[in-house]
Amino acid sequence: MSIKISIITAVYNNCSTVSHAIESVLSQDYPNIEYIIIDGKSTDGTVDIIRKFEGKISKWVSEPDKGIYDAMNKGLELATGDVIGLLNSDDFYENTSVISDVASIFHAKNTDALYGDLLYVDAKDITKIVRYWKAKPYVVNTFLRGWMPPHPTFFVKKEIYQKYGKFNTSFKSAADYEFMLRVIHKHKIKLAYLPQILVRMRTGGVSNLSLKNRLMANKEDYLAWQLNELKPRFYTMWLKPFRKLYQYFARPKF
């Protein structure tokens, strides 16, 4: 029996790109996908777009929420798959076989979670590469050196969320980092790396919109360690943004 994979898209007032995200999920060649969309009561036409795909979407809701992590948590509650992936409404899968490749790794390695590589692309020209995040294989304690996997490429067994909890909604931009720190570094779940581009993300994420937001994200990163009763090295918070610099110069080989 094939692994059931749930994909969750959280969206709010993003009629310009949400259809692309939806289409990239619906075009996957893997047969056992549950697709869930959580809309935050959009008023810009996003709901009308979702309705156009209604017959192909497993579940969707449109109601007020307390932000993207609250929306993701709602999706996690609805998900019934063995494995759960999160695809934001600005993002899309690199090709039609991404979920098949993900499922094959979970089947072959019996891992708790996996991640792959990420491409940041220009918001208007998705063929223009801005950053290339080649994540590389996980090394124990590498979170101390500022490492983290690209969250849009992170697929996790549902039982991990059930055992260790969902996203902490007190965070504005770093709940994904806190979750990965919690399950990978603190609880040491089994982790696999799929060495290929899984997702393309349009530039303009919340944590990178301004210097103020970047500083807030760094503050939240440190709080993530405190909440988990973990102690970073004195250089951990400095290395985390520094590690991203090479991504602006590196380019994938297609």
SS (H, E, C) 195-242: EEEEEEEECCCHHHCCHHHHHHHHHHHHHHHHHCCCCCCCCHHHHHHH
- pLDDT grade, residue 217 (50/70/90)? confident
pLDDT (0 to 100) of residue 207 = 42
Binning pLDDT at 50, 70 and 90, where does residue 161 land? very high
Report whether pLDDT(215) > 70.
no
Answer yes or no: pTM beyond 0.85.
Answer: yes
pLDDT of residue 254: 81
How distant, in Å, are the alpha carbons of 47, 116, 226 from that of 135?
34, 7, 25
For residue 116, pLDDT beyond 60: yes
Dihedral of alpha carbons 47, 50, 51, 57, sign: negative
Rounded Cα distance between 38 and 61, Å, is 5
Checking if the pLDDT of 214 tops 80, the result is no
Distance CA 12, CA 65 (A): 10
Q: Which residues pair with 70 in a beta bridge?
A: none
